Chains A and B, each alone.
Chain A
Amino acid sequence: MSEALAPAALELGGPSAQALMWRRVYAHKGLMIGAVILIAIVMMALLAPLVAPYDPYAQDLTQRLIPPIWHERGTWAHALGTDNLGRDYLSRLIYGARISLLIGAAVMVISGLIGSSLGLAAGYFGGRVDAVVTFIITVRLAMPLILVALAVVAMIGGSLWVVIMVLGLLKWDRFAVVMRAATQQVRGLDYVAAAEASGALTARIIVGEVLPNVLPHLIVVASVEAASAILLEAALSFLGLGVQPPLPSWGLMIAEAKTYMFFSFWLIALPGSALALLVLSVNMLGDGVRDVTAPGGRS
Chain B
Amino acid sequence: MIAFALKRLFLAILVALTVSALVFLLLRASGDVAIALAGEGARAEDIENIRRIYGLDRPLLVQYFDWLFRLLQGDFGQSLYFKTDVLGIVLDKLPTTITLALLSLAFALAVSVPLGVLAAAYPNSGVDRLCLAIAVIGQAMPNFFFALLLIMVLAVWFHLLPVSGSESWANFVMPTVALGYYVAPAFMRLVRAGMIEVLASDYVRTARAKGLSGVSVIGKHALRNALVPVVALAAVQLGFLLSGSVVIETIFALDGAGFLAFQSITHKDLPVTQALVALLSFIYVGLTLAADLINAWLDPRIRIG
Chain A residues with a Cβ under 8 A of chain B? 135, 138-139, 141-148, 150-152, 154-157, 227, 231, 234-235, 238-241, 251, 254, 258, 261-262, 265, 268-269, 272, 275-277, 279-280, 283-284
* Complex contacts, A280 vs chain B, CB 8 Å: 136-137, 140
Given A148-B23, A151-B277, A154-B265, do A238 and B144 touch, yes or no (CB 8 Å)? yes
> A118 to nearest B CB, angstroms?
16
Cβ of B145 and Cβ of A275 under 8 Å apart? Answer: yes
23 contacts between A and B (CB under 8 A): A135-B11, A135-B15, A142-B284, A143-B19, A143-B281, A144-B243, A144-B277, A144-B284, A146-B246, A147-B243, A150-B261, A151-B273, A151-B277, A227-B139, A235-B142, A238-B144, A238-B247, A239-B246, A239-B250, A276-B137, A277-B140, A279-B140, A284-B136
> A30 to nearest B CB, angstroms?
9
Cβ of B15 and Cβ of A279 under 8 Å apart? Answer: no
User: In residues 226-252 of chain B, which contact A (Cβ within 8 Å)?
Assistant: 239, 242-244, 246-247, 250
CA distance A154 to B36 in the complex (A): 11
Given A144-B277, A147-B243, do A152 and B140 touch, yes or no (CB 8 Å)? no
Is B16 interfacial (CB-CB < 8 Å)? yes
Task: State the main secondary structure of chain B at its contact with A.
Answer: helix
The 3 A-B residue pairs whose C-beta atoms are closest, nearest first, are A144-B243, A155-B30, A155-B31
Interface string of B241-269 (1 = CB under 8 A from A): 01110110010000000000110011010
Cβ of A156 and Cβ of B243 under 8 Å apart? Answer: no
Stretch touching chain A among B73-81, B148-156, B293-301: B148-156
Task: State the main secondary structure of chain A at its contact with B.
Answer: helix
Cβ of B242 and Cβ of A144 under 8 Å apart? Answer: yes
Cβ of A254 and Cβ of B15 under 8 Å apart? Answer: no
CA distance A139 to B25 in the complex (A): 14
Place the interface of chain B in its size category. Answer: 35 or more
Chain B residues with a Cβ under 8 A of chain A? 11, 14-16, 18-19, 22-23, 26-27, 30-31, 36, 136-137, 139-145, 148-149, 151-152, 156, 239, 242-244, 246-247, 250, 261-262, 265-266, 268, 273, 276-277, 280-281, 284-285, 288
Cβ of A143 and Cβ of B276 under 8 Å apart? Answer: no
| B26 partner, pick from A152, A241, A254, A276, beta carbons under 8 A | A152
Cβ of B31 and Cβ of A261 under 8 Å apart? Answer: no
